[in-house]
Structure 1
Amino acid sequence: MAAHFDPPEYPCKKSTLPPRPKLTGEQEGKYKQVLQFLQEKTEFPTSEKGAEKNSGPMEPLTDEEKAWLSEECILRYLRATKWNVADAEKRLLSTLGWRREFGVERTRSNTITADKVAVENESGKELIFGFDNDSRPCLALRNGRQNTEPSHRQVEHMFFMLERAIDYMPPGQEQLALLIDFKAHTKLGKKVPSMTTGRQVLHILQTHYPERLGKALLTNLPWIAWTFMKIIHPFIDPTTREKLVFTKPFPDYVPKEQLEKEYGGDVDFEYKQDKYWPKMNEIADKKHAAFMAQYHKLGGGIGLSEEKMRQPLDSDDQATLVGGMKKLAV
């Protein structure tokens, strides 16, 4: 069988989508309160600290940010704050400030680009590859392939990949699956994240990506990794802790058709930076552009449905989108 170099674009037929929970009347009312709060604001903080202190530079929302503030996004923050309206509003403002400051928004001058973090992935230490049984995109973290020293760019790379995994989500899916492998690479040796990096990533994930983690599968943990997990365990919130699965076979959670042979799947995958990296980003950019095209087609604004924005474009809209992307590439 020929080796595969590119990531799958869609879940396989075996994957399903869990039903979306229905809101109670009280929950619907709280959602409307947060939506109104966001719609009535004209300017938003440009940093996390500015949001916390309600000070510093403020700017209006871009279309990208309005699209991010979807119905599902607001509900994720409400669930994460146990339906406390004031806390959800505060956390949404904090995340908006963080996103602007950190560089995950595509339209800002400080955006983290594929070129900036490409060197971090030369060893294939992070992969968006396949979808789990519940149609969540799988982001594989292969710590044994760590190829760079601890730095802020390592953290930027992590959340660049997480944002691209979100782009891969099919309509109706809001979460991703992490496949974390600590097995040492023959050439790169045994490495685990530094305590500082681990805590920083965990803080960002829990604070600014609430309800985004569906499952985290961990395998091949040597004693040093177990020690790392024991140290960091107190900093993991109970909701995240419930989603951690240790040393269980990956095929129990991911269809073999979209899982590497290394983990018990059927795919003979080989990482080639010059093949995988441009293709993974091309697919993510195409899906994100389609998401934004649907945003405009639905009328724009805060509170639109993520599920509707992730629906495939019709043939005419797709042709227009492809033409526009080709012009941008010139």
Structure 2
Amino acid sequence: MAETQSAPNGRLSEKAALDGTPAATSSASSFKSTASQVAPADTPASSQSTAAGASQDEEEEAEWQPPTNGPLKTPIPKPSQSAKAPGSPKLNVEHETKYATILASVSQWETIPATTAKNAPQAPIQDHERMWLTRECLLRYLRATKWNTANALKRLQSTLSWRREYGADTFTADYISPENETGKQVLLGYDNAARPCLYLSPGKQNTKMSDRQIHHLCYMLDRTVDMMPPGQESACLLINFKGAASGTVPSVGQARAVLNILQGHNPERLGKALISELPWYVSTFFKMISPFIDPVTREKMKFNEELKLYVPKQQLWNAYAGGELDFVYEHTAYWPAFAAETDRRRAAYRERWERAGKRIGEFEEYLRGGRHACLRDVVGQKGEGGESDADLAAAGVAKLSV
């Protein structure tokens, strides 16, 4: 995130120093993808901040326990011990080459369009936008476009321009707070694959339809990403329509706007969508928007299934069948704790990125405090001509057609 200052409308205005990226100018007849050089670090990325007298191994192994003096009213900081993040899939040679092509191209971006409008003016790329361009981010867009490098680059640029135009990086907890006073969106616990769980309860709608309602979802999705543990890239949505009146169901136009955020600008982020207690008019609504839902997304949607099959019962809200977690949403307790925890995680993520040299293509597992080496250490060995392997890779693929 860029450095920010408060704005009168409850958002933030950016004042980050610009950080241009020099174009790759080295030449090489062949290149080696950084993906083939990955090696775990001997010590965790966040070991410098580990509390005295306790190793990070001990902190990671300790099972989270709910309070014993009453219901939980704050977010859960980590997955259950039984939950296992899948980690990053291995790439074949073709995919490594396409990744290197994308990396070389985005590393040379010095400006991007200020909006999504045709022929929009260009503006310098900023630090928080370069930080967003991680290795896993580039791969998510490649997978979403079926490894079409030209389409992946187009969509990456489109998302960055959309985030600028939409203000996604300027929404503050104070600005969003009125939307969540009833707890209609709650980030709570993790599923069996260590995905953070975002509960969506349309029946708790407390505001009239406005832009801020959609901003609310955008903000909560970004905060869900903040809560992802090392090795996890996707989220679990638990959507319960209990008590939802027909007037609270979004229009098709609103649904398409939400799908644009989910599918267009957060590709490969949905792990599971567990949808329950649908009244007939909601079932009809899903049929109406079905043509706009990507087939891959539809496969991840599960209707009226037992939630305990997907979420450990110790971290499943007891308001849902099979859950054992005694949780009560009190906005004055949850919201400040939620904002503080996600702020802390974002600050640590940013500090690691800066400490490792502010590189595009950085490893998310490292940035989240996992045991993966940072990109600088992975490609630190110099080539015969003095260039790093990353420079050689970028130079080699920069000549390839995308």
TM-score normalised to the size of structure 2? 0.73
State the shift of 1:190 in Å.
6.9
State the partner residue of 1:133. 192
- Equivalent residue, structure 2, for 1:225: 282
Q: Which of 58-67 and 132-141 deviates more? A: 58-67
Percent identity for Structure 1 against Structure 2: 47
- In structure 1, distance between residues paired with 2:107 and 2:186: 37
Q: Is 1:122 equivalent to 2:190 in the alignment?
A: no
The letter of the residue matching 1:271 is Y
Q: Does the aligned pair in 2 maintain the 1:219–1:248 contact within 8 Å?
A: yes
1:34 paired residue among 98, 102, 106? 102
- 331, 335, 338: which is aligned to 1:277? 335
**Which one of the candidate residues 296, 301, 316 is aligned to 2:354?**
296
What does residue 82 of structure 2 align with? 14
Does residue 89 of structure 2 align to residue 25 of structure 1? Answer: no
Q: 1:158, CA displacement in angstroms?
A: 0.5
* Higher RCO (CA < 8 A, seq sep 6+): 2
Out of 103, 125, 128, the residue aligned to residue 64 of structure 1 is 128
Tell me the residue number matched to 1:248.
305
Question: Are 1:70 and 1:306, in contact at CA under 8 Å, matched by a contact in 2?
Answer: yes
| Matched residue, 1:5 | 73
Asked if 1:199 is matched to 2:267, the reply is no
Q: Is the 8 A contact 1:150 1:194 kept in 2?
A: no
CA distance in 2, matches of 1:301, 1:16: 28
How big is the shift at 1:192?
Answer: 2.0
User: Quick one: which amino acid aligns to residue 296 of structure 2?
Assistant: T
Q: CA RMSD in A?
A: 1.5
1:305 aligns with 2:305: no
Alpha-carbon separation, structure 2, partners of 1:170 and 1:98: 26
Distance 1:20 1:306 in 2: 10
Q: Which amino acid aligns with 1:17?
A: A
Whole-angstrom distance in 1 between the partners of 2:312 and 2:247: 29
Matches within 5 A, 1:118-197: 118-184=177-243, 191-197=248-254
Question: Which amino acid counterpart does residue 208 of structure 2 have in structure 1?
Answer: E
- The yes-or-no answer on 1:209 pairing with 2:277 is no
Partner Cα distance (1:204, 1:260) in 2: 26
* Superposed displacement of residue 247, structure 1: 0.3
CA distance in 1, matches of 2:176, 2:254: 16
Write the deviation string for residues 257-300 of structure 1: whole angstroms up to 9, x where unpaired: 11111112111111101000111111111011111011011111
SS at match of 2:238: strand
Q: Which has the larger radius of gyration?
A: 2
Contact 1:183/1:190 (<8 A) preserved: no
**Could you tell me how far apart the structure 1 residues matched to 2:345 and 2:137 are?**
18
Letter of the aligned partner of 2:351 in structure 1? A
Question: Separation in 1 of the partners of 2:171 and 2:215?
Answer: 7
Tell me which amino acid in the other structure corresponds to 1:199: R
Q: Which residue of 2 aligns with 1:237?
A: 294
Q: Is the 8 A contact 2:109 2:125 kept in 1?
A: no
User: Matched residue of 1:261: which SS?
Assistant: coil
* TM superposition shift of 1:19: 4.1
**Deviation for aligned residue 1:230:** 0.8
Partner residue in 1 for 2:7 = none
What CA deviation, in whole Å up to 9, does each residue of 1:67-122 have, x standing for no partner? 110000000000000100100000000000001111122xxxxx111111111101
- Aligned residue type for 2:348: A
Q: Alpha-carbon deviations, 1:4-32, whole Å to 9, x = none?
A: 10010111111111242111111111111
1:42-86 residue CA offsets vs partner (Å, 9 max, x unmatched): 11111122xxx3x22222222211111000000000000010010
Give the number of the structure whose residues are more often helix, by fraction.
Answer: 1
Separation in 2, partners of 1:190, 1:201: 17
The residue identity in structure 2 corresponding to 1:277 is W
2:319 is the alignment partner of 1:262: yes
Equivalent-residue separation in structure 2 for 1:220 and 1:191 (angstroms)? 15
2:344 maps to a residue whose letter is K
Which amino acid in 1 is paired with 2:81?
K
What stretches of structure 2 of length at least 5 have no aligned partner? 1-67, 372-402
The change in CA–CA distance for 1:57 and 1:278 in structure 2 (over 3 A counts) is same
2:172 to 106, 109, 113: 113
1:91 is aligned with what amino acid?
A: R
Q: Which residue of 2 aligns with 1:324?
A: none
Amino acid at match of 2:168: V
Which residue of structure 2 aligns with residue 45 of structure 1?
Answer: 113
Question: 1:248, CA displacement in angstroms?
Answer: 0.5
- Report the secondary structure of 1:59's partner residue: strand
Matched residue SS, 2:73: coil
Q: Distance in 1 between matches of 2:201 and 2:150?
A: 38
Match of 1:85 in 2: 149
